[in-house]
Structure 1
Amino acid sequence: MGNALRFLLGKCCKPEADSDHGASAVSALAHDLYSFEITHQVPRELSGHVVSSRKAQSNWYQKLSEAWRETKPPPKTPEEASRLVIQTLKRHKKEDVEGLLAYYGLPLPHTLVDLTDGAVPLQPHGLKFELHTLPVDPRAVADGDTITVYVSTSDPRESSLVPREVHIAASQRAQARSRRDYSVADKLHRDIIDSGYRVITLQNEDVLARKYRIRLRGIDAPESKMPYGEEAKEELVKIVQDRCLRVLVFDEDRYHRCVGDVYCNGVFVQEVMLKKGMAWHYKAYDNRPELDKWEKQARARRVGLWASKNPEMPWEWRKDRREGR
């Protein structure tokens, strides 16, 4: 079995226990591709969703298995899995491609948004610094435009910024854990956390990392208690969970959050949020024309919050709450 399939099966191929429909869809496809590599059999029920023969279906699964194995990292989100299927089977019948996607509950072609290449200028105007994060915990997504991330202190920029007392506490914590004095280790870790750092275990190794709160530059998503607030948060979680991000920081807001552009595997996260109708272009703080264009595209398609006739602007909603309306 290919490494990509082995990885995905190990991480998420438990559809019966998975509460997230999207993850179940991706893992179901990965499971069937793995099974095909062993048995050369496609799911029997698939014939009820497509028009071509079982022999043709076997040809699709052979192609998909090879494409999945070659994709690094392998698809994690329904959108990524759907795009791989569409690209791999682009010369096949539309009814078959859409039927295969529908069988697994993956997004159909007309529901996917077209994205730009996500290329970043070598020296974006106003850039203060750049962060490369550790994988994002989905619980660290506060809402549709705010994420808490961690950056390893082995990063060249971070290594010189770590306070001496944090270095000492991290070293003492490691010693306490080695002698199984977990109460002391936990207290030291609380001190580290209070200083804006955390020890994160990755691949059985402890990594000292610095905490950053990131406010996505140029967009304003509905607040959690607003219509589409939860949907916006869930969309952002789908994009960034368990991924390492590239964050270009341009400013700091009054809540001490870093205001920045966020990229995930080369995808510009703000573009996805705007095109899916999960955020407004925050024109009061960012006048980039491309953001305005992406919002207008979502408005025209009436997707996300634009399905409502007159959605309330989050900045107006916050103002009303401050004034007790």
Structure 2
Amino acid sequence: MTAATAFRERTTIDDVTARLLTSSDELSYDPQTEVAWDQPIPDDHYGLNPEWSTLYGTRLWDEMSEEQRVLLTRHEVGSIMQTGIWFEMMLQQLILRDQYAKDPAATEFRFALTEIADECRHSLMFARTCDVLGIPKYLPPRLTIELARLIKTTARAEQAYGPILIAEEILDVMQRDWMRGENVVHIVRTTSKIHVVEEARHMKFARAEIMDGLEHASRFRRERSAMLFAGAAYFIVRAMVSPEVYTNVGLDKERALAEVRTNQHRKAMMRLSCVHLMDFLADAGLLTKRAMRVYQSVDMI
């Protein structure tokens, strides 16, 4: 049974959120105490598994010293985390707008606020990680930031939760590797574990909200939502690792970007991180031909 089919067979959105509230009560983390913030960072530990570096498998990677590789992966994970902070701030606004004036006694409302609390802790956790690793400020391109303002102001129902699911699904697969990486710095391993556990609930919530929103959707609305999801995915993927990362670790930015664009290993890893997401979108009727072309353009399928 696929994820989308399973959600069609639920009775109400409150059944899903009631279970998620129970899970939140039983298994949640406080990053302030769970992460060994004061433990020294080994000089030879990566910021993320080398296989997830955008340059892994390229000639430029082979030419780099081990110190450069370590530094690159730390800046890459810092850029990904800061993109995550930006997106989590947008996510919180989307959820608040969707839940505005809804029944506060409903488990849907209560879990939505629980998720917002989780996301606040995650953003603080990522920000502190970047501070400990000495990572400078990285932001998505200005166009992406301004387009996101439009989405967070106008998106409703499934269109609010689609971009949330996309961002969380992509990061989930990556972080499941990072949390097990013996050569990854300990604070990234621990923060990845926290994020994976708590975002699993958030993804279930997003899937449930998407299926609920699409239950009686017209073909036009489904097509519009499919393209909005694909458009959000396009900008999220392109914003994850800032081009300034390469400059800041002493690489030729233009050469690095050229090698990233043709890096078949990176493309394969990106497709791997999107397998479950594409299965869900297909089963929900949101993987249309036009949407597929967008996903293909950023190597998600």
State if a TM-score over 0.5 links the two structures: no
Larger radius of gyration: 1
The structure with more helix, counted as a fraction of residues: 2
**RCO comparison, higher one (Cα < 8 Å, 6+):** 2
More strand per residue: 1 or 2? Answer: 1
